[in-house]
């Protein structure tokens, strides 16, 4: 074997054995307790008042008014009804053409979730639904969430709970 061949073989062996997967090397993750600290020490916490980069907390929900519900219905019809259907049963025009059906807003699970859930799903997406954070303003997300609650109430309220005036309007 020539000297050059020997050097090349040594270089190849060095690279083969010296380059380990860096993910398997010992390291300390963020907010992980020191290995030298006793187990009773609580891991480090984020400093108070810090916010993750590119993240801002959701604004609080506005009071529900008739104007808010009208705006919510308008935005729902534009952005949501194509999949969720006009009454929220998950039977929109896109679903009728073969797209997977979203869950019905009238399921027990979605009637139990806080209104923040709908705001978060509109913002971040969920399952096959993509995020609408860039398409729907935060105030409109709250309006849509309030309208979804109104849809749930309109479809799931027993007639026995209605006032006599409300029952008369149903006729």
Total-model pTM: 0.64
Has residue 100 got a pLDDT over 80?
A: yes
Question: Please, which residues have CB within 8 angstroms of residue 42's CB and are 6 or more apart in sequence?
Answer: 33
In whole angstroms, what is the distance from residue 61 CA to residue 119 CA?
Answer: 9
Nearest to 72 by CA among 148, 156, 155: 148
pLDDT tens for 115-136 read: 999 999 999 999 889 999 999 9
> What is the pLDDT, as a whole number, of residue 132?
94
Domains identified in the chain and CATH numbers: 66-158 (1.10.760.10)
- Residue 129 pairs with which residues in a beta bridge? 126
């Amino acid at each position: 074997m020539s000297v050059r061949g020997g050097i090349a073989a040594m270089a190849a062996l060095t690279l083969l054995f010296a380059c380990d997967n860096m993910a398997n090397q010992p390291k300390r993750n963020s907010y992980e307790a020191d290995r030298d600290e006793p187990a009773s020490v609580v891991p480090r916490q984020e400093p108070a008042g810090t916010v993750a980069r590119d993240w801002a907390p959701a604004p609080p929900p506005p009071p529900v008014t008739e104007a808010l519900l009208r705006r919510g219905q308008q935005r729902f019809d534009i952005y949501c009804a194509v999949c969720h259907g006009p009454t929220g049963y998950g039977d929109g025009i896109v679903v009728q053409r073969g797209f997977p059906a979203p869950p019905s807003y009238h399921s027990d699970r979605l009637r139990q979730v806080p209104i923040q859930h709908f705001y978060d799903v509109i913002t971040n997406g969920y399952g096959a639904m993509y995020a609408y954070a860039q398409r729907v303003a935060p105030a409109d997300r709250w309006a849509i969430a309030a309208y979804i609650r109104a849809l749930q109430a309109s479809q799931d309220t027993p007639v026995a709970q209605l006032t006599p005036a409300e029952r008369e309007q149903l006729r």
